[in-house]
Amino acid sequence: MERFLFLTFDGLSRGAVYAAFALALVLIWRAARIVNFAQGAMAVATAYAGYSVASATGSYWLGFAVAIVAGLLLGAAVERVVMRFVDHSSPLNGVVVALGLVLVIQAVLGMLYGNEYRPAAAPFSRSAFQVGGVALLSRFDLFVFAAVSAVVGLLGLLFTRTAVGLRMRAAAFAPDVSRLLGVPVAGMLTLGWALAAAVGSLAGLLVLPTELGLHPNAMDLVFVSSFTAAVVGGLDSAVGAVVGGLVVGLLLSFVSGYLGATVAPMAVLALLLVVLLGRPGGLFTRGRARAA
């Protein structure tokens, strides 16, 4: 029972990170109908930037801030310089270009920092403290929950309560009509990419300390897990992405805890397969063909 509780909390903490990362994927999907396969690599790149600043200044939080800002800038740059010029007649084009970005980003990181793991610092202790004699959560886990809840809440407010959010949604759903109403559609798209990449960066900063550390490929598996989370949620739904993230986090935690850590990736693959084949449209949206 204790183990079950521990694994549940551990799973929710992991799941929160996947939720944030999946949310970033959903943001771009909704804005541009592109699954940003480069998001993992982009997040690692900004984490490296934060790492450099943190080790130069000795301040974790300065590095943290730099990583988030770098995410905003990188996201905007990727949209302005590359993605804007992709031909969208076939969804494959965006995918292939994003994969090209993955190669470029990972290569540049490898050249700058080398292809070995570097420790990723956590701002709070990762050892779980006892609640009623049971080790459940660490301070870092609490930080993860707080950060992800804040991001989800702020994004929710942004999209439902602000003029910019309304513009962004309108621009995504009906670009031509929005332009006729004075919405700078291209700018909204750039903003969407910037926000998504920053959320991705945050997710990276939250997940890297719990994995092997910084490495150009460090987010590959996280990307797969989060993509699965987004697909579980239906790829179009922000709420779905959050729930999907928690589902994937719990699954990973239980499988690692009861069957062994090496089985976990296969469990994710199995879940992805089952959802893609069994519930076209995800668990939270009305059924629709996976034609995209």
What whole-number distance in Å separates Cα of residue 98 and Cα of residue 215? 19
* Residue 106 vs 138, nearer CB to another protein: 106
Site size for another protein (CB under 8 A): 71
* Residue 209 vs 265, nearer CB to another protein: 265
Instruction: Provide, rounded to whole angstroms, the least separation between the CB of residue 2 and another protein.
Output: 26
In eight-state DSSP terms, residue 214 is B
Instruction: Identify which of 287, 194, 203 has the alpha carbon closest to the alpha carbon of residue 245.
Output: 203
190, containing H or E segment = helix 185-207
131, containing H or E segment = strand 128-131
Q: Is 104 in the site for another protein (CB under 8 A)?
A: yes
Instruction: Provide, rounded to whole angstroms, the least separation between the CB of residue 122 and another protein.
Output: 24
Instruction: Provide, rounded to whole angstroms, the least separation between the CB of residue 135 and another protein.
Output: 27
Instruction: Identify which of 239, 179, 249 has the alpha carbon closest to the alpha carbon of residue 30.
Output: 239
Contacts (CB under 8 A) with another protein, residues 213-272: 217, 220-221, 223-224, 227-228, 231, 260, 262-263, 265-266, 268-269, 272
In eight-state DSSP terms, residue 138 is E
Instruction: Provide, rounded to whole angstroms, the least separation between the CB of residue 169 and another protein.
Output: 7
Instruction: Provide, rounded to whole angstroms, the least separation between the CB of residue 189 and another protein.
Output: 13
Q: Is 183 in the site for another protein (CB under 8 A)?
A: yes
What whole-number distance in Å separates Cα of residue 245 and Cα of residue 235? 12
Measured from the Cβ of residue 8, the count of other Cβ atoms closer than 10 Å reads: 16
Tokens of 179: 């332009």
User: Per-residue contact track with another protein, 113 to 152, x per CB under 8 A?
Assistant: -xx-------------------------------------
